[in-house]
Structure formats: C-alpha cells, structure tokens
Amino acid sequence: MPSRSFLIFAWESADATLSLASSTCQGHSRAGGVTKLIRLECVTACAPMLELEFNNLTVQQLQAGLALFNAARFFEAHELLEDAWREAPPHSARRRHLQGLVQVAVALHHHSTGNLVGARSVLKRAARNLEGAELTMPDLDLGTLRASLAAWQEYLDEINSADRKGTAPSRNPSAKTSKSPALPVIIVKKPT
C-alpha cells in the first residue's frame, strides 16, 4: 500500500490537545496550549492504542478520527473515519460498523450546522449500523455510546414532533424544547 498522509489539527484546549496527542503518537510535542497544526504521516512506530484486527494505517486513521470525534470536531472526524471505512473489506460486518461510526460523526456535524432533519435521519441509520459492533470493535465502549445516541435520538425526535405541531422555537419563539444532550464520546476501554 502506498504511503498516505493525513492532517490532524491541534487546538487551544489543553484537554483536547492532550487527548489528540495521546491517542495518536506520544512523540509529538505540544507548545503551551498554542494552536498549531500537527501532521501525521503513516507512522508505524506509534504503538496502537486499539487492539483491533485492522491494518496499521486503518488503526491510525481510526484513532485519529476518534480523537477528533471526542473533541467535537465532527466534520474532520468523519473524514478520517471514512478513510478507515474505505479500507475495510467490502460487505463485511467491520465495514458496516465503521460506517456506523462515520454516520454518528455526520449526524452530529449536521446538528452543529442546524440541519436537524439530516441529523435525525443519519443518526437512525448509524444506530442500525452499529448493531453488533462489539464483535469487530471490542476495545470501544459501545454501550456508553449507544446510551448517549439514544438520548440524542429522543431529543431530535422531540424537536421533529414540535416542528410538526408548529410548537418548535423556529415557528413559535415562546415554545420551549429540551436542551440538547451532552455530546457523546467514544471511549476506548482499558485493557483488562
């Protein structure tokens, strides 16, 4: 496979920077919270944090995508997760499960841009595609992710229902809807 490179961005939040660096490579330096661009090559020297049966490039893409997802950089996360998805064998459970992760990132990106209809639709497909993902991604805490996605689906369904009744804030400024749930995170389980 030819060497490919991809870009990961670091940002000012110390937690996000630490999370991004620890989930990719320990060798990258961080300068006092200063925003800077970190370029990751297809580095084989990085010890994978995930013990998955993927090729090294796919593991690196997946790890970087998860770090961006957890930092609420959903568009960038979907790009890297999609690259990992493309590498998976066609028509495999692994490919479907990776597609589910991509779709979660896309749904949350849609929400961040105000496309609530798109967010709701894509999130439903993501939940279906993540069914059984413990088999292909056992290192991910998918139970916690699913619980968070269920809260998001309920929230988006509530907004959709209010919109249909004409009681959504966009149609009725005095209407109240629930606040959006906390953003989901994808947790990598600690080895036992």
Q: What is the pLDDT of residues 112-167, one digit of tens each?
A: 999 999 999 999 999 999 999 999 999 999 999 999 999 999 999 999 888 777 66
Residue with token string 């413990």: 134
pLDDT score of 44 more than 90? no
User: What local confidence, expressed as pLDDT, does residue 186 receive?
Assistant: 94
Counting beta carbons within 10 angstroms of the beta carbon of residue 108, is it exposed (0 to 12), middle (13 to 18) or buried (19 or more)? buried
pTM of the model: 0.69
Share of the chain above pLDDT 90, in %: 51
Report d(CA 111, CA 76) in Å as an integer.
15
User: What local confidence, expressed as pLDDT, does residue 168 receive?
Assistant: 56
pLDDT score of 171 more than 80? no
Q: Which residue has the higher pLDDT, 82 or 12?
A: 82
Name the band, by pLDDT with cuts 50, 70 and 90, for residue 75. Answer: very high
Report d(CA 63, CA 51) in Å as an integer.
11
Pair of tokens at residue 190: 């600690």
Mean predicted confidence (pLDDT) in 179-185: 93
C-alpha atoms less than 13 angstroms from C-alpha of 144 in its C-beta half-sphere: 12
The matching CATH number, chosen from 1.10.3450.10, 2.40.110.10, 3.40.190.170, 3.40.50.300, for 7-26+43-165 is 1.10.3450.10
Residue 5 CA, distance from chain mean position: 20
**Out of 55-69, 91-105, 129-143, least confident range:** 55-69
Mean predicted confidence (pLDDT) in 67-89: 93
Q: Are 92 and 98 in contact (CB under 8 A)?
A: no
Task: Identify the H or E element spanning 2.
Answer: none
Mean predicted confidence (pLDDT) in 79-90: 92
Q: Is the dihedral of CA 34, 188, 135, 44 positive or negative?
A: positive
C-alpha atoms less than 13 angstroms from C-alpha of 5 in its C-beta half-sphere: 5
Average pLDDT of the chain is 73
Region of 33 on the Ramachandran plot (φ > 0 left; ψ -120 to 50 alpha; else beta) = left
User: What local confidence, expressed as pLDDT, does residue 23 receive?
Assistant: 37
Residue with token string 């997946």: 62
- Segments of the chain assigned E as strands: 6-9, 37-40
Report d(CA 162, CA 111) in Å as an integer.
16
Name the band, by pLDDT with cuts 50, 70 and 90, for residue 62. Answer: confident
pLDDT score of 64 more than 80? yes
